[in-house]
Structure 1
Amino acid sequence: MTGELTLFDKPADSGNVISRAFCPNCGSAVYSLNSSMSDLIFVRASTIDQPDVIEAQVTVYSSRAPSWDKIDESLQAFPEMPPQGSREVIDDGAMK
């Protein structure tokens, strides 16, 4: 993938800033950044040529999932952001 991206910043429920990168021509979402986790890039699964090589490890904001999107019950799930914050979930190994 090449080219310039446009960033849209918005405060998250936590108060951190989420920056969403998207193509300025077609609007396709590419990745997100979280101001509290500057060492991570959250790549959108829709940008991956072979999404089956990625394996989900935790579900956040499960309460906001549409009824047709069934949540994998074998994964640790949080109705909103985990109470200890997303960094702790990642550091605790749930997303490793």
Structure 2
Amino acid sequence: MPVTRCLSPHVPLPQSRCERLDWYGPRLGERVRVIAWTCTCLATVYELCEAGGQGFIRRTVRFDGRREIRESPRWRTATARVMWTALLSGLVR
């Protein structure tokens, strides 16, 4: 088995029944705790975050030396973890 430097998961290609998430601009000045993240070797990185008792997914796309940060809707933390698992399974994007 080849040795890989990637320690975090990669997001798979979307499944045929993949649902689209709505993405919004980030809330500024908010204290956010990052719970989990995908591998940073790709241009798009996802993070499972919590803030103010709610959970959400943050998406960062890097291109031309810039970053575009977007966030999913806010959910109960249990729902956010379900959505994170769906993201890692290719069921939401």
Regarding TM over 0.5, the answer is no
Q: Which is greater in Rg?
A: 1
Q: Which has the higher contact order (CA 8 A, sep 6+)?
A: 2
Q: Which has the higher strand share?
A: 2
When normalised by structure 1's length, the TM-score is: 0.31
